Amino acid sequence: MDLSDLRSVAAEAPWYAPQGDECTLFQHAAGCGLPLLIKGPTGCGKTRFVEHMAHVLQRPLITVSCHDDLSAADLVGRHLIAGGDTVWSDGPLTRAVRQGAICYLDEVVEARKDTTVVLHPLADDRRVLPIERTGELIPAAPGFMLVISYNPGYQNVLKGLKPSTRQRFVALDFGYPAPEVERAIVATEGGVDAATAQRLVALAQALRRLTEHDLEETASTRLLVMAARLHASGLPLRSAVRAAIVQALSDEPDTVAALEEVVLAVL
């Protein structure tokens, strides 16, 4: 276990407001040794949920943000040259398998196709990680859990998870939290009073109803929290919303103008 893993066990549990029975489901999946797939838009609380559950279960958490250049070797490990010698260096997935940690692969479909292949033997009854380069077959230590997330909104046909991969996972579908939960999150995380949190959540709901513009994403809980923090630090609410939400959602002048109109109408 390296120091950063130790820290994640020792730290205070990150605060998490449940959307439903996801905490119970996570505990059962962990107890049954089943991997978990969390679907949901960006900024809706997936990462916070996993951080919270790792603390509840007292497991180290190893998080990997996947990107389109991430290869199987980045997850599993590779030989490195050190002082003329070739030494094997474990990747984050291999460390998690050896330690019995929770390995969270965020936005897994962004990664290169060869990465999902290494997940298969870990995600079914075998619970092993074969390392081709060294010929090792590492059984997952007790407590190891694989958690992956993806944003179905981003998917195109090429990037979707293959059925053979997704059928190995227990799946949880996240949306934005219900208004009363989201108000509590914005107030607590953003450091604003209940009335301001209520206005920001009402704005988010109006923005989420805007469907005629080609927005790739909409106002997420994360963006609301950012706007709330800016406001709590002294910025007028509309300026905070413009910087944290409107400009984050679009570069198109027409779309920005439409978003601004909603802001003026609601705030």
Single-letter amino acid, residue 178: A
The C-alpha atoms of residue 96 and residue 106 are separated, in whole angstroms, by 15
Q: Does 226 bind ligand ADP (CB under 6 A)?
A: no
Which distant-in-sequence residues (6+ apart) come within 8 Å of 182 by Cβ?
176, 201, 204, 221, 224
Q: Does 245 bind ligand ADP (CB under 6 A)?
A: no
CB of 180 to ligand ADP, least distance (A): 12
Q: What DSSP line would sit under 67-99, residue for residue?
A: -TT--HHHHHEEEEEETTEEEEEE-HHHHHHHH
Give the interface segment with ligand ADP, choosing from 20-28, 125-133, 220-228, 244-252 (CB under 6 A).
220-228
Give the interface segment with ligand ADP, choosing from 14-22, 139-147, 193-201, 204-212 (CB under 6 A).
14-22
Q: Using the rule CB under 6 A, which residue among 8, 196, 221, 250 binds ligand ADP?
A: 221
Q: Using the rule CB under 6 A, which residue among 8, 47, 116, 165 binds ligand ADP?
A: 47
Phi, psi of 149 (to 5 degrees): -130, 155
Single-letter amino acid, residue 68: D
Structure-token pair, residue 230: 């800016």
Q: Does 104 bind ligand ADP (CB under 6 A)?
A: no
CB of 103 to ligand ADP, least distance (A): 15
The C-alpha atoms of residue 119 and residue 122 are separated, in whole angstroms, by 5
Q: Does 92 bind ligand ADP (CB under 6 A)?
A: no
CA 49 to the chain's CA centroid:
8
Q: Does 17 bind ligand ADP (CB under 6 A)?
A: yes
Give the interface segment with ligand ADP, choosing from 46-54, 124-132, 163-171, 207-215 (CB under 6 A).
46-54
Of residues 66 and 129, the one with the C-beta less far from ligand ADP: 66
Instruction: Give residues in contact with ligand ADP (CB under 6 A).
Output: 15-17, 40, 42-48, 177, 185, 189, 221-222, 225
